[in-house]
Copies of this chain bind each other. A is one copy, B any other.
């Protein structure tokens, strides 16, 4: 690919925004949030730092673009042919896995409220919430709840991985250290946390995440059942096929 021949400081092919974004993702994946630097990036792309500013507005813009590329890929598969509940679970899990693979997305997502990556996610969630039969005036609250929950988990996962990296260990070691510290807390002041320390480590984060999604979906279902009693199958029939 693009062999920079000899003694040529000048790039032959001009820089593209997409190229910059891909290089940023690589830097972020290998070096964490601190790995993305205009200097490191420009070195990798064989340019000066200033050149990048022709294609991106600033660092936040760059981070958002990198995040959006991953989100777009993650959501590109069309919603499976199942119930809205199943689609929402799949959607949420897809985001969980993407963020798990690219922890820097955690802060990138919350750092870009209302921007393209968030819009993509909201649209997907919204369509399924609508298919679920949630009444119009409650749709936003439902979508916002799901989004907030997903971003909350994302942020925590990102922080765990990031902190582990800074301390030169891996995620699981870091979590073990936390569990350990918790189990040594004062029993009078923190009875619950102390008791939870062990259990916390045997749990699967991914399953915990899904349990939270299910809690919200459960809540939505319960709300609808009470708002409109009667044969549930009748009104859900269309969306429920499977």
Known pairs A148-B212, A155-B110, A208-B141; A122 contacts B203 (CB<8 A): no
Compute how far the CA of A175 lies from the CA of B113 in the bound complex, rounded to whole angstroms: 9
Q: Report yes or no: A140 in contact with B216, Cβ–Cβ below 8 A.
A: no
Q: Report yes or no: A142 in contact with B182, Cβ–Cβ below 8 A.
A: no
Q: Does A220 contact B (CB under 8 A)?
A: yes
A: number of interface residues (CB 8 Å): 65
Chain A residues numbered 130-154 whose CB sits less than 8 Å from any CB in chain B = 130, 137-145, 147-154
Q: Report yes or no: A178 in contact with B221, Cβ–Cβ below 8 A.
A: no
Known pairs A113-B163, A119-B193, A122-B192; A215 contacts B145 (CB<8 A): yes
Least CB separation from A130: chain B residue: B192
What sequence of 0s and 1s flags, for each residue 215-226 of chain A, a beta carbon within 8 Å of any chain B beta carbon? 111111111000
> How many copies altogether?
2
Q: List 14 A-B contacts (CB under 8 A).
A: A110-B152, A113-B156, A114-B182, A123-B189, A127-B191, A130-B192, A139-B196, A140-B196, A144-B208, A147-B152, A155-B155, A214-B219, A215-B215, A218-B222
| 17 further A-B pairs in the complex, CB-CB below 8 A; given A139-B199, A152-B152 | A114-B178, A119-B193, A122-B196, A123-B192, A126-B193, A141-B215, A142-B215, A144-B208, A145-B208, A148-B149, A149-B152, A149-B212, A152-B154, A152-B155, A215-B215, A216-B219, A218-B218
